Chain A
Amino acid sequence: MKKWLLSISLLLTAAVLYGLFWYRTVQPVRLTIGIYSGSYWGTSIGDRYQFFDEAIEIFEKTHPGIEVSYVSGIGIDSYSEWLAEQYMKGQGPDLFLVLPEDFSLLAASGALYPLDDLIRLDDGFDLSVYYKACQKAGQMENRQYALPFESVPTLMFVNKSLLREYGISMPAHDWTWDDFYDICSEITEASEAQTEKKAYAVFNYSWTDMLYANGAVLFSEDGKTCNLGSLRVREAVLFDQKLRELNNGYTVTARDFDEGRVAFRPFLYSEYKVYQPYPWRVKKYSNFEWDCVQMPSGPRGGNVCEIESTLIGMNARSRHKELAWDFMKLLCGDEEQQKKMYSSSAGISPIIAVAEDKELLDNLFQDVPGDYEINPDVIHDIMSTGVSAPRFRRYSQAKIMAENAVDTALKSGKAIEEYLVSSQHDINIMLSS
């Protein structure tokens, strides 16, 4: 009786295993990708899905028998939640776009598959094709968890009309904080006398934008220590304070800026790219002439800005890692695809050769009137010196703590340095717990 039972169960097991094997060979391999509609930076030129559809078509041609699919209609606001739900429900997509703020969470929780082995074994692939800062955006604790897909640096918006009004010439790309402050104080002083249509120097330019230009980093790369009290950071905070004092307590608003009454503001490259060429330029800031230059450099740094990158990561649970890697390379590493992305989206390609392609840039900015400031050399300067904020698990929390500390210090107006050092201590305790 028992022997009979044993043989039956063995037979059943063999049958089930064979069935599973058979099912897997018959079933076509399906690769799923997770993408959002629109652009992370809120501005978009082309159709995002069209880009992916074309990439999928190329991939399916070179990889017969493989189907690539995605779910459309996920907006940027609900994308992070959607992705988390996919993980919650089970497998999740094999490949997906990773937003900059989600990267550390996904990498630390083990949701992303570390790519180091795949990169090492792939002779045809080299990380050095990317700008250093872009590549680092996909790195955590010295492991590459994602490849950069699209990058956007921060530039300084210049209201050319306003400057001309006050007889100030367009600043050069290698300007400094002192140059910046001189222009600001000039504008403020000159407009003091005016009662109507007052002009303001700067909008929304805070110490966090200044850090990188002074060679400072707020957190160490491993996310274990905070440098809030360091000299370079303190200098940035003090410069912020100095600029604030120019306005005599008045807070400049977005409305002031839109009306063309503000000379400078930090500006994302994506907006520049969308609103500078015709026809979009008529949609926004059409009542004045404007352009962008690099960020002014601090006493201890260069004309360095922060670069944000959206990434593509691989699901650690993916069953088709090799295929996913091939597709990932097509999206992030193939120059043709990146050129397409570059022309259809608001960002810059993280691949050096694509980003600085003269022909492409000329094509992109052919409708920009006059002598446009952003040319391949400038792009090269911005991108190769730019910095990505270090990513670690508690980045957002630590950053909020630091911002609050500086806010409080600036508002209290006294003993800023001491206050920063003690706050640094608090943040370090949080980071090491």
Chain B
Amino acid sequence: MKKQESLKRVLYTMLLCNWFILSYYIAVLSASKKVICNLKGAYAFLSVSEGIPVDTVTLCLKVLVFYAALSLLILLKEEICQENKINVHLVCLGEMFLSFVLIRAMNFYYSGIALLVLADLLYYADKKGLRVVYVIIQILEFVFGSDKILGYFYNNIQFSSYLYCFHPVARSWIVAVESSMSFINIFLFVIFALLMIMRQKDENYRILMLNTALSRKNVQLQEANIKLKEYSETIKQMTEVTERNRLAREIHDTLGHSLTGIVVSADAGRILMDTAPEEAKIRFEVIGATARQGLLDVRRSIHALRPDALESHDIESALEKMIQNARETTGTEISYDQTSGDLILAQDEEDTLYRIVQEGLTNAVRHGHATSISVMVRREENSLKVSIRDNGIGSQNIKTGFGLDYMRERIEMLKGSLSYGNREDGCLGFYLEAVIPVRSWNPEDEQ
């Protein structure tokens, strides 16, 4: 950033320097013309010249206008371009054009303006191929823009011709000042170029360092990724083990306990059947009570496995919450359309409905890579019909995994049906349809 500042400072100094040089040339020209006219040497001057002398007033105006335009372009090009590449090229071309017009207006007495624009182009034009062309053009302009080369073809009076009217001492002073000013301009350009080279070097070094750091971080990231994978595998296994243990303990505590009681009571009942039928009756009652207790326990256990959302909310808001959550976490567009009125369902029906939607969304996002999913829940006679459609890639050969099997089992337990497959309505994607008979809508079942 510091280099950037000094580059700009050198460029602005060049801008100022060139302005002084142009003014100097115009001042010398006007002075010379005045001296020639005072010496009554105008006719003699014309006779030995190859053209007519420049009109200093017009020259002054032209230089003023063109140089002001060039300075504006140089100072304000960042504002004008706004990072637009075409604008950058237009500005570059504009600067080059103005520099040529200025050199031409100055009758090719001074071509240092080409260096000023060259410096600016080096600094600003970034597109590699065109920059080379610009640079070459400016260098040619600088070299051939002198009055001894291009000026010769334009039938010009050479600058030195104007100086003959001065006293030799004055003439050498004028030439000395002229050359040193041009030299300062070239010197400034060299400094500018050096700064540019240094900046480029710094930039390269910085990029190299960044690259090294980046690859080191990359390696670290890969290692972390592998560890993370291993870790998640471990967690999965641990969860399975914990779950299995819990289920085992649950079964042992509830079913095991009840079944043991039932087995013992049944054995006792069989023995007491003949000897003490009254006693046996009591045993059977115990068996019944135990079995009922067991059933209660099992229900409680299953109850413990219910989704949290259903614990704290009713099914409708639980579904809405889940879908909203899925929208937020996956970024998928999900439409939810529930037209079956108030959902008053038994617990197992609620669970199944919840799991179907959950599993359907998960599959659509994970396997189908869908970006848009529609979920519809509607009543069909005494059943609830859930359909989930997505715009994903569908599935060529469906392998029913744990999820779908589990879903089908749940639905069949409720005497419902499940169908799924690739969409057949001409669109890409997957569909899943479940029909669940609702007991509360079916008076026969209720009984």
Contacts and interface: CB of A to CB of B under 8 A. Distances in A.
Contact of A6 (B36, B50, B53, B80): B80
A88 B78 contact: no
A377 B42 CA distance: 44
A87 to B, nearest CB: 5
A431 B200 CA distance: 58
Contacts of A109: 46, 49-52
Interface string A387-403: 00000000000000000
A87 B52 contact: yes
A344 to B, nearest CB: 28
13 contacts: A6-B72, A6-B76, A80-B43, A81-B43, A83-B43, A84-B45, A87-B52, A87-B53, A88-B46, A89-B37, A90-B58, A105-B46, A106-B46
A414 interface: no
A188 B51 CA distance: 52
B52 to A, nearest CB: 5
A84 B76 contact: no
B40 A111 contact: no
Contacts of B40: 81
Interface residues of A, number: 22
B55 interface: yes
A2 interface: yes
A141 to B, nearest CB: 14
Contacts of B36: 88
A72 B53 CA distance: 24
A2 B79 contact: yes
A3 to B, nearest CB: 6
Contacts of A111: 46, 52
Nearest to B36: A88
A224 interface: no
A91 interface: yes
A122 to B, nearest CB: 26
B155 interface: yes
Interface of A: 2-3, 5-6, 9, 80-81, 83-85, 87-91, 105-106, 109-111, 316-317
Interface of B: 33, 36-37, 40, 42-43, 45-47, 49-53, 55-58, 72, 75-76, 78-80, 155
The 10 closest A-B pairs by CB, nearest first: A84-B42, A84-B43, A85-B42, A90-B55, A88-B42, A81-B43, A111-B52, A84-B46, A2-B79, A85-B37
A88 B37 CA distance: 7
Contacts of B58: 90
Select the residue from B47, B50, B57 with max chain A CB neighbours within 10 A. Answer: B47
Given A80-B43, A89-B37, 8 more contacts: A6-B80, A9-B72, A9-B76, A81-B42, A84-B45, A106-B46, A317-B52, A317-B55
Contact of A2 (B43, B51, B78): B78
A13 B52 CA distance: 31
B99 to A, nearest CB: 19
A83 B46 CA distance: 10
A89 B58 CA distance: 11
A110 B50 CA distance: 9
B4 to A, nearest CB: 16
A105 B51 contact: no
Nearest to A397: B47
A316 B55 contact: no
Contacts of B56: 90
Contacts of A105: 46-47
Contacts of B76: 2, 5-6, 9
A88 B79 contact: no
A53 to B, nearest CB: 27
Contacts of A316: 52
A80 B42 CA distance: 9
Contacts of A317: 52, 55
A89 B47 CA distance: 16
A6 B81 CA distance: 12
Contacts of B52: 87, 109-111, 316-317
Contacts of B37: 85, 88-89
Given A81-B40, A81-B42, A89 B79 contact: no
A94 to B, nearest CB: 14
Select the residue from B42, B49, B56, B75 with max chain A CB neighbours within 10 A. Answer: B42
A2 B76 CA distance: 7
B167 to A, nearest CB: 19
Select the residue from B33, B45, B46, B58 with max chain A CB neighbours within 10 A. Answer: B46
Nearest to B72: A9
B390 to A, nearest CB: 50
Given A88-B37, A91-B55, A3 B46 contact: no
Nearest to A78: B40
Nearest to A5: B76
